[in-house]
Amino acid sequence: MKAKFKLSSPIFVQLLLSLFLILPFSQTGFCQGPRTEVAGIPVNYDESKVPEYSLPDVLQLENGDKVKDAETWISQRRPELIRLFENEQFGKMPDRSHMHYKVQEAGTPVLKGAAIRKQVTIYFTEDTSNYKADLLIYLPAQTKSAPLFLSINFAPNSLSVEDPGVLEGMMWNREGKRIPTSEGRKFGTMNVQKFISEGIGVACIYYGDIEPDFADGLKYGIIGHYLKEGETSPKSDEWGAISAWAWGLSCAMDYLESDQQIDSDKIALYGVSRLGKTALWTGAHDERFALVIASCSGEGGAAISRRQYGETIKHMIDSTRYFYQFCANRSKYGDDPNTCPVDAHMLVALVAPRPLLLQTGNTDYWSDPKGEFVSAVAAEPVYNLFGKKGLETNEWPAAGTPILNDLGYFMHDGGHGPIPSDYDIYIEFLKKHFLNQ
């Protein structure tokens, strides 16, 4: 069958993340050796060249006082940090007052009766012809109220699982038009059975249904809908694409809370790469998500920006790359991340006291796996305020050594994105914190 998927389309570019576009070392044969510069900007992979830096104190209020208890964190420090991340990194989001939904499929038996499948359309505006996302849900058939693993994906639902009963859906091409997913290609599928057999439900949503992942995407996505008359872009402290995806996930949560067959107190959120950043920011901003797993979130996610190792703020905000994923204010910190009032450890800390697993790969240098570990260590005092367990070590663990405390870290032997065995770790983390196993 001849594929009609355009190799130059934005979605194809994003789905090649795990191949060569963001990897500093080739794992595919497409490139040889480290990428010494990206977008004309040098890349550092040498620990001896990491500049001296000091992290902002996650427990110091803007008035200089020290946070000494969980109550002060909740009432004062947490709101301060949310505001700073809104203003300086991700951008403010609008309310969700127009969100509504329609259940397209209420519960069809699948997986030889082991699960039921639900399909729901989330409408982001009053208009049901546009600005909508398909939410695919699988739940264990014998469980009255199941925990749920919600994955925000690079591909539409019908390409993310092996199930001919999933609604086809649409995807973006490079011309800014939505095309049927039948004209696209599969890039791997999720093993739903693995979760169902452990009593855990699975849900999928396609990020492109919320906001297209390219610079002109705001013309077609939810950001553009909210632009005021005469505006061609959001204000400097208003949402970029990551906040848009986070906003869409909160809309999905609005539905999930209404479904009595789902334990809305046990919903885990998962994303990879830029969607790992999205999972972190969503979990930080929306406390209804009970657990977060962020895979290879790197710069703008769990990796310390001040380390300037691998991808940096300057790489991300370059006009040829991913500036549109952040609010415009982020560009102020490209030349000197030390001037930014926030860094990744603060984003990690905002998930506390809920369980958070940072998963990465030991050869994913571009995403700085050590920087993610440093971030988790620096966020640990906030978990301790709540009597929760952080990593409890300052020694960077070897690949294959999971730390699955309330604040967890796991690094597989390999590069960017998850490998099949990582899902066993995810399930172990979910079982420990959701099922007390």
Tell me which amino acid residue 20 is.
F
Note whether 330 and 88 are within 8 A (CB).
Answer: yes
**Parallel, antiparallel, or unpaired for β 146-153 and 201-206?**
parallel
Residue 343: alpha-carbon gap to chain centroid: 17
Distances (CA, A) of 194 to 115, 120, 141, 410, 423: 12, 22, 14, 20, 9
* Cβ count near 48 (within 10 Å): 5
Cis peptide before 109 (omega within 30 of 0): no
- Between CA 45 and CA 52 the distance in angstroms is 15
Q: Which two tokens stand for residue 209?
A: 């249904």
> Where in the sequence numbering do the catalytic residues fall?
273, 416
Neighbours of 142 (CB within 10 A): 10
Neighbours of 50 (CB within 10 A): 16
Strand partners of residue 291: 268
DSSP-based three-state secondary structure for 103: strand
Angle, CA 347 vertex, CA 349 and CA 211 arms, to 5°: 140
Residue 262 contacts residue 135 (beta carbons within 8 Å):
no
Q: Determine the straight-line distance between the first and last CA of the chain, rounded to whole angstroms.
A: 46
**CA distance linking residue 322 with residue 395, whole number of Å:** 33
**What does each C-alpha distance from 429 to 171, 264, 301 come to in angstroms?**
32, 18, 20
Rounded CA-CA distance 84/62 in Å is 11
Q: Report the DSSP pairing between strands 170-172 and 41-42.
A: unpaired
